[in-house]
Amino acid sequence: MTNIQLIDRLRSQRTLDMDEWVRLIGTCTPEDRIYAADAARAIALERFGNRIYFRGIVEFSNYCKNDCLYCGIRRSSADAQRYRLTRDDILLCCREGYGLGFRTFVLQSGEDPWYTDARMADIISAIHAEFPDCAITLSIGEKSRESYQAFFDAGANRFLLRHETADCAHYAKLHPACQTLENRLRCLRDLKEIGYQTGCGFMVGSPFQTVQCLAEDMRFIADFRPHMIGIGPFIPHHATPFRDFPAGSAELTLFLLSLCRIMLPDVLLPATTALGTLRGDGRQKGVLAGANVIMPNLSPKAVREKYMLYDNKAISGEDAAESLNILKAHMREIGYEIVVGRGDYREETVS
């Protein structure tokens, strides 16, 4: 069976066997990537038209209790300039975003214990009360089921928690021993059971990653069936133990984005900031590979350069919320339109 036939099989069956994933990912050619992108783009156009949803990210704290070996805001980093936004700061970001047309706010931070469940619930409730027509997405890491429930009850709708890698041995090479894949997956299960629109995802080209690891990631996603998938290339940060590892491949990232769209036609699939950082046209290429979400930055300009998970992170141009006209122009160049709306996950019945 050729790789083209495997891609067709993925479209019809929504999954592949492990050895088929390994073969498809490990031996893909430029022709395979073009074929997958064309198929993924056709599916996205069928499901969503030429509409691209945009979400406003508010990076409200770069304190983190964790020490992930790849992350620029890891606990032990003496390089990070730490900051926290107040409830009023966050609400101001949302007000500015609402005026620009954003109808989804993504609250993202390191795992910062200063934001207790009560503080987070208060922030979420305040956003929900002032902007009842908006969705609230959280990206704040591993919590207890009780914490997730409290945030959901306060008005949060979605939660992004990348699983990072579905291979236990690989996970252990990226994190200290106190962090486990088992707990990560427990969190994802809890989120989905509570009722969040739940997103997982992984880095492409992270240190020690193999084709087998990527195959495990794709098999996990096929089984878990998330509502959102965040995939971006690994980009090293100079103040981490992985500073000397090479960045991941933009081409492989785009191929895996296409395979995710083919596998889960209705999934909300961002063209990530990391992809846009690695190559200037990464956002456009992501959309042409099947992505349908873009997440510009609503954070105050004074703190954007402090939320550096990796080196050279894009914080201006089309990655900045105040530059929406640039982003809209870039999308129009490839035949797409940025639309105002929450852009909730909705599963269609068409094949």
Torsion angle, CA of 122/123/125/130, rounded to 10 degrees?
A: 140
pLDDT over 50 (residue 351)? no
- Give percent above pLDDT 70 in the chain: 97
Q: Which residue has the higher pLDDT, 279 or 5?
A: 5
- Angle, CA 298 vertex, CA 294 and CA 303 arms, to 5°: 125
Residue type, 56: G
Mean pLDDT of 213-231: 98
DSSP-assigned letter for residue 306: T
Q: What share of the chain is helix, strand, coil (3-state, %, to 5)?
A: 45, 15, 40
> Strand locations in 36-128, DSSP E?
51-54, 56-61, 104-109
Mean pLDDT of 199-218: 98
Position 36 confidence tier, pLDDT thresholds 50, 70, 90: very high
State the DSSP string of 165-195: -S-HHHHHHHS-TT--HHHHHHHHHHHHHHT
Indicate the average pLDDT of the chain.
94
Q: Which residue carries 């785009």 as its tokens?
A: 254
pLDDT over 70 (residue 80)? yes
pLDDT over 60 (residue 317)? no
State the DSSP string of 89-108: HHHHHHHHHHHHT--EEEEE
pLDDT over 80 (residue 225)? yes
Q: How far apart are CA 265 and CA 40, in angstroms?
A: 8
Q: Identify the pLDDT of residue 348.
A: 65
